[in-house]
Amino acid sequence: MSHTLHRIKDKQPDADYVVLVMPARGINNDDVVGHYQKYIDIFKKYNPVNMGGMKIGLLLDNTPEELKVNACDDAPMVHAVFRTKEDLTGVLGEIKDKDYGFSVVVSGLLDDVRDCAEKVGLKPHSYNFSLGVYGALDKLPPRPVLEICTMCGHAMVTPGLVQKLAADIRKGKTTTEKAAEKLTRPCMCGIFNTAKAKAVLERIVESPEV
């Protein structure tokens, strides 16, 4: 599924770039575990704020070495999340140089991703564009809550949890940092941006209407 698409963005610089690495099943899925381990070795050099994947685990609860041990054949893909264009450019450049051969997809603001790709001489092959949300839009939570929740494409980060944690922060029962970590764990793909969640939570707790 398009689980890293449709992430709601607020402003530039957005500071939220997901790199996804995946074999095409039945075509180039030889030595999946060995490949995942090599890509994790690249990711870890560029300050990821999250990393891992379904059946592999999250950086929040594992070291990069533990994630490499957890890598398995039936994990569909491996991800890492970066906060700066410099880190994204660095990781793309090294992936291009190493040329391990799995497909690489970057999710982020289009112009930013293109800038980084161009700097390392990469020419995009294809795009998945988000054309927005249709239908009963009155059912959606407020936009800052969406900014956090849409970081999990499987909808495992709920508006109810964001709003409860925001209330707990206001009452002094928890901190934005601990709340952001609590929001990270339900997203088992490792694509949730903990640092961005912390920043958005800070905005939410200042905003009485959310």
Partner 1 sequence: MKIEYEKCKACGLCIPFCPVGAIGKEGDRVVIDQEECVECCLCLRNSKCPTEALYQEALQMPRSIRKAFSDPLGKHENTDLGHLGRGTEEVKTNDVTGLVHGTEYIAMAVEPGRPLVGARISDVEKIAMAIAPYVVSYDQNNPTTKLMIDQKKGLFEPSIKNEKVLSCILEFKLAAKDLNSVMKAFEEVGKEVDTVFSVGVIAATDEQGNCPAEAVIRKRGITFLETSTKVNMGLGKPLFTA
Task: Write out the binding residues for partner 1, residues 123-162 only, by CB under 8 A.
Answer: 123-137, 139-141, 146, 149-150, 153-156, 158-161
How far CA 104 is from CA of 28, 96, 168, in Å, comes to: 13, 10, 39
Smaller CB distance to partner 1: residue 65 or 98?
98
Provide the residue type at 12 as one letter. Q
**Which 8-state DSSP code applies to residue 44?**
G
Helix 110-119 and helix 85-98, axial crossing angle in degrees, nearest 10: 50
- Decide if 70 contacts 57 (C-beta within 8 A): yes
Q: Which of residues 70-89 bind partner 1 (CB under 8 A)?
A: 76-77
Smallest distance from partner 1 to CB 49, Å: 16
Smaller CB distance to partner 1: residue 65 or 154?
154
114 is a contact residue toward partner 1 (CB under 8 A): yes
171 is a contact residue toward partner 1 (CB under 8 A): no
- Quick check: bond before 142 cis, omega within 30? no
Q: Which of residues 179-208 bind partner 1 (CB under 8 A)?
A: 185-186, 188-189
173 is a contact residue toward partner 1 (CB under 8 A): no
One of 34, 110, 115, 207 touching partner 1 (CB under 8 A): 110
Please name the residues in contact with 16: beta carbons below 8 A apart, sequence gap of 6 or more: 7, 9, 81, 83, 108, 151, 193, 196
Smallest distance from partner 1 to CB 156, Å: 6
Listed ranges 43-51, 65-73, 93-101, 201-209: which one lies at the site for partner 1 (CB under 8 A) = 93-101
One of 67, 78, 113, 201 touching partner 1 (CB under 8 A): 113
Smallest distance from partner 1 to CB 164, Å: 4
CA angle 58, 64, 66 (to 5 degrees): 80
**Spacing of C-alpha 32 from chain mean position:** 21
